[in-house]
Amino acid sequence: MADSGRPGVIRRFFTWLFSPSARWSVFALLLVGLIIGFVATAGTQVAMAVTGSNEFCGTACHSHTQFVYPEYKASVHGKNRTGVQAGCSDCHVPHTYPAKLIYKAQAGIRDAIAEARGTISTQEKFEAKRWELANHVWDEMKANNSANCRTCHTPEAMDAAKQNEDAVKQHKKFAAGKATCIECHTGVAHKEPEEPKAPVKTSSLQ
């Protein structure tokens, strides 16, 4: 009766939300904001680390567990004399922000859809698609002058005295800006895919 003129609960909530706080000090509000900010930032970092691990990239999808991961593990970047590895994301994902977040969101959605559709679910389908997939990677790496390779391999730090003649000669082309790493070094973590002799038939039942 006496309450009939009182605004509804939603209205009261908004009035409360936008009115200055009487109970909380500015410090308390700042602290809450900082905690939320910290949790969001730390959460993003944890999510990046978990979804960037070899374990996740190598086993989250059936196709990668079957064909991609075993090949990588046997390659020079997965197993070698000194035991220093390059992980999937070291080569495939940008190392800087926000490029890393954008790339992961786009690739994550595209790969999840492809996995659900079974685009490369059998060895035959994978082999048929491989040339195209590899070309995507090569194009990306050519476009950024093999930036990810160079996060580990610094040409200026290479000891020419310890490389063979051919390597020293060829690496001068990189220094001169005439060729980038990926133009000469393909198949460093996977089997080198073969160029199809004829265009792949999309109507095939494979």
For binding to ligand HEC (CB under 6 A), which residues are involved? 54, 57-58, 64, 68-69, 72, 76-77, 80-82, 84, 86-88, 90-92, 130, 133-134, 137-138, 146, 148-153, 155, 163-164, 166-167, 170-171, 173-174, 179-190, 192-193
CB of 139 to ligand HEC, least distance (A): 10
Give 76's contacts (C-beta < 8 A, 6+ positions apart).
188, 189
C-alpha 28/C-alpha 34 separation (Å) is: 10
Closer to ligand HEC at the Cβ: 86 or 94? 86
CB of 154 to ligand HEC, least distance (A): 8
Closer to ligand HEC at the Cβ: 36 or 167? 167
Closer to ligand HEC at the Cβ: 35 or 109? 109
CB of 198 to ligand HEC, least distance (A): 19
Closer to ligand HEC at the Cβ: 105 or 167? 167
